[in-house]
Amino acid sequence: MIFRKIRGKSKGLIIFVAFTFVAAAAFFGISTYISSRSQRGPLSGVSQEDTLISVNGEPIKAMEFLYIIEDYYSYLQLMPSNDAMELQNNIVLSLIQRVLLLQEANKRGIEAVVTDADVEEVIDMYLLENEISLDELVTQLRASGDSLANAKHRVREGLQERESIFAVEDFIKGSVEVTSEDIAKEYEEVVARIIYISTFQKDEGTAFDSAIEARDKLQAGEDFEAVAVNYSDDFYGADEDTGLVFVKYDSYLEPQIIETAFGLAKGEISEIITTIDGHHILKVEEITEAVGEEFEAAKPALEKEVLAKKGNAYFREWMEELIESADVEIFDELLAGYYWYRLADYDKTIKNLTAAVKKNPRNFYLYDILGHAHYYEGNIQKATTVFADAIEEFPAETELRFSFIDFLYSTGDHTRMEKELETIIADNSEDLATMQMVLSYLHLMDSVENIEKVNSIIEFLLAQEEAMQEEDPELAEEEK
């Protein structure tokens, strides 16, 4: 039952790894299989046999990337440039991870045992999914100059690879231990209300003044929910219906918020908590402590949950270190540039993307990454030039212009930032979502005149939307 066991596993960072036994390539070989397909995508014209990636001296051929990317090609055509690049990078990363894990398996002497029954099960599933008989498969294999024996050999190799990878992961996770404190923290929970005053929607001074006003009203005895309605800019993780936020030790909240929540008594209101996102005030409504019969009954299940979480986290960290220490070369500038950008090696990013831009001049997202790479390297002047050239080349790309605005904000160039925002206002005055985004940036700069202008546009668009809703609810929903 090895195939069903494999399909039921969720394995850490191995996102897109394609093993040859799960598709036609298992039976006909990757090279033959790719030859029968269109070979579209970012590596068009590249020979299948070319080395695309080298991992500690071990080559990964272009055909392995092409084999996977073909299945995503139709999605790539519809994706925004950043999502398409992320997908391609995930495929590159998965291929690298696969080789590294197999190298680790070899280093540690791990070799999976695959039985004849396991191989037959894969073949039976392939026949069932493709609605063909064994005789028909044999005929197809012979027509391509292959044999059933060779196909079974490839299936066995694929199964051995995958089980070896799982064995390495299980070995690494095996060093993780769970303490009684870990189990208690997994059980404990604080239910709170939150007031969130954003420093993205208003400047720091105004935001902090609002936070002080809200705190003073609460200390004077005003109702927390009423103050939240008047001062809070967003739910910030709270349930939109109840206004409650459920805080665990591993919640996706800022550490300061989690620490404060667990330090308060029931009914207690916090002081102002300042994070990178703004200012927050909490009121604790309920506390679940790790005591009592319910906690004791839940311990066995909690231990399993904690073991899985800690194991996955430890394996991710170990895998990241393995990748960072590996000798990796990627022989395609576009794929290499994004890969090194994601690993924060900006020198390699710049080298590869400078070449990639020349070969892919219509991909505006490459300019975005290149500009940020120069910025992170400390070359603000070069970054500004890259962004400015890109804006001139792609004036209608609002997404690119917003990225440039983010960059300008980080450098403190508010004058150029406001100029770019005014261009977006002029070009997108009928787009409600864009205008709302523009407004958040204008608040950061305290640009009173433009704030009034954009507020008027938003009010008009909202009124227009409301009128449309009254006239034709179905059409209005489609327009949204």
CATH number assigned to the domain comprising residue 66: 1.10.4030
Chain centre to alpha carbon of residue 222: 41
DSSP label at 42? T
Same domain, 156 and 250: no
Q: In sequence order, which residues have a C-beta less than 8 Å from that of residue 329 and are 6 or more positions away? A: 53, 54
CATH number assigned to the domain comprising residue 262: 3.10.50.40
Answer for the pair 374, 386: CB distance below 8 angstroms, yes or no: yes
How, if at all, do strands 278-288 and 58-61 pair?
unpaired
Same domain, 165 and 196: no
Residue 70 lies in a domain: yes
Tally of structural domains, the chain: 3
Q: What is the pLDDT of residue 27?
A: 54
Tell me the average pLDDT across 35-53: 63
Check pLDDT > 90 for residue 448.
no
CATH number assigned to the domain comprising residue 389: 1.25.40.10
Check pLDDT > 60 for residue 5.
no
Could you tell me which residues are beta bridge partners of residue 244?
193
Tell me which range, 74-78, 302-306, 467-471, is most confidently predicted by mean pLDDT: 302-306
pLDDT in tens, 330-345: 999 999 999 999 999 9
Check pLDDT > 70 for residue 68.
yes
First to last CA, the chain: 48
Structure tokens at 285: 């409504």
Domain edge (last residue) among 173, 207, 222: 173
Residue 130 lies in a domain: yes
Answer for the pair 402, 422: CB distance below 8 angstroms, yes or no: no
Q: What is the pLDDT of residue 203?
A: 74
Distance CA 349, CA 368 (A): 12
Domain edge (last residue) among 173, 203, 226: 173
Same domain, 426 and 279: no
Distances (CA, A) of 418 to 67, 380, 422, 425, 449: 46, 18, 6, 10, 11
Task: Identify the H or E element spanning 171.
Answer: helix 148-173
Same domain, 30 and 167: yes
* Strand ranges across the sheet with 328-330: 58-61, 51-55, 328-330
Same domain, 162 and 18: yes
Q: How confident is the model at residue 474 (pLDDT cuts 50, 70, 90)?
A: low
Same domain, 259 and 367: no
Q: How confident is the model at residue 8 (pLDDT cuts 50, 70, 90)?
A: very low
Same domain, 131 and 236: no
* Total Cβ atoms within 10 A of residue 475: 11
Structure tokens at 374: 């120069």
Answer for the pair 189, 285: CB distance below 8 angstroms, yes or no: no
Mean pLDDT (the chain) is 86
pLDDT in tens, 100-126: 999 999 999 998 889 999 999 988 988
Same domain, 85 and 229: no
pLDDT in tens, 260-316: 999 999 999 999 999 988 999 999 999 999 999 999 999 999 999 999 999 999 999
Range of the domain at 12: 2-173
Same domain, 124 and 16: yes
Percent of the chain at pLDDT above 90? 61
Residue 351 lies in a domain: no
Percent of the chain at pLDDT above 70? 88
Same domain, 163 and 194: no
Q: What is the pLDDT of residue 26?
A: 53
Chain centre to alpha carbon of residue 6: 24
Tell me the average pLDDT across 21-38: 47
How, if at all, do strands 244-247 and 189-198 pair?
antiparallel
pLDDT in tens, 181-206: 999 999 999 999 999 998 877 777 88
Check pLDDT > 70 for residue 32.
no
Check pLDDT > 50 for residue 427.
yes
Q: How confident is the model at residue 28 (pLDDT cuts 50, 70, 90)?
A: low
Q: What is the pLDDT of residue 473?
A: 63
Q: What is the pLDDT of residue 198?
A: 86
Same domain, 131 and 277: no
Same domain, 232 and 265: yes
Distance CA 10, CA 7 (A): 8
pLDDT in tens, 156-177: 888 898 899 999 999 999 999 9
Task: For tokens 């001062």, name the residue.
Answer: 231
Residue 345 lies in a domain: no
Check pLDDT > 70 for residue 43.
no
